[in-house]
């Protein structure tokens, strides 16, 4: 007679059950963290297909790394680190395969601040997206986490594994690169 185990109640128990082959326990972990993973990944994906790919890649990595979860930090934080790494790897891979497109070829115009011309939110978003697409993956990652998600230096350091000093330096350089890429600063 097979021994019936009680249903898992905590994330640690779900992890333990998933490691013992309980697919439903892993599915429950995915269900409880899917929204947070996709919210973070959406900042890096250009469309729904890329978002789906990032979500699948993240949970595949979670499954493969489940045995390394030690329970010292909350499970959600552990998944967040995996999500950030998957997104960073995704950006690097996408950058490797993209052809360079000249900013001159982009069909948008930048308003002249002296004239007082204003951007619509759609125009501003388009300019930001195109400017971000020109950044290195590490620059895009830091701008996304630090500026768009409004995370603290400490949070970004914890998620990326970088020191707080390195986060500050990379944020400064990334902001400068973004300004250059959208035409807000001359190359010096």
pLDDT at 105: 41
Residue 99 DSSP code: P
pLDDT at 78: 93
* Count of Cβ atoms closer than 10 Å to residue 124 Cβ: 12
* Residue ranges of the chain assigned to CATH 1.10.10.10: 101-182
* Residue ranges of the chain assigned to CATH 1.10.1740.10: 7-98
- Domain range 101-182, CATH architecture: Orthogonal Bundle (1.10)
Distance CA(154)–CA(115), nearest Å, equals 40
**pLDDT averaged over consecutive 10-residue blocks of the chain (188 residues)?**
56 90 93 94 90 94 93 89 92 71 41 52 77 87 86 90 92 91 66
pLDDT tens-place string over residues 92-105: 888 776 644 433 34
**CA atoms in the 13 A half-sphere facing the CB of 141:** 25
Pick the CATH number of 7-98 from 3.90.1300.10, 3.40.50.300, 3.30.70.141, 1.10.1740.10: 1.10.1740.10
pLDDT tens-place string over residues 114-126: 445 556 667 777 8
pLDDT at 109: 44
Name the H helices within the chain. Answer: 11-19, 23-42, 48-65, 75-97, 121-133, 137-142, 153-160, 164-181
pLDDT tens-place string over residues 167-185: 999 999 999 999 898 876 5
């Amino acid at each position: 007679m097979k021994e019936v185990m009680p249903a898992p109640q905590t994330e640690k128990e779900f992890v333990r059950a998933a490691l013992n082959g309980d697919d439903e326990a892993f599915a429950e972990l995915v269900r409880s963290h899917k929204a947070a993973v996709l919210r973070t990944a959406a900042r890096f994906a250009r469309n729904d297909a890329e978002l789906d790919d990032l979500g699948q890649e993240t949970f595949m990595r979670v499954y493969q790394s489940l045995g390394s979860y030690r329970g010292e930090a909350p499970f959600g934080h552990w998944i967040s680190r995996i999500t950030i790494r998957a997104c960073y790897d995704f950006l690097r891979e996408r950058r490797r395969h993209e052809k360079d497109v000249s900013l001159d070829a982009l069909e948008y115009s930048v308003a002249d601040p002296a004239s007082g011309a204003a951007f619509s939110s759609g125009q501003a978003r388009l300019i930001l997206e195109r400017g971000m697409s020109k950044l290195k993956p590490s620059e895009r990652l830091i701008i996304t986490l630090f500026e768009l998600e409004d995370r603290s230096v400490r949070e970004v350091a914890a998620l990326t594994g970088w020191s707080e000093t390195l986060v500050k330096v990379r944020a400064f350089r990334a902001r400068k690169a973004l300004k250059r890429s959208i035409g807000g600063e001359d190359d010096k």
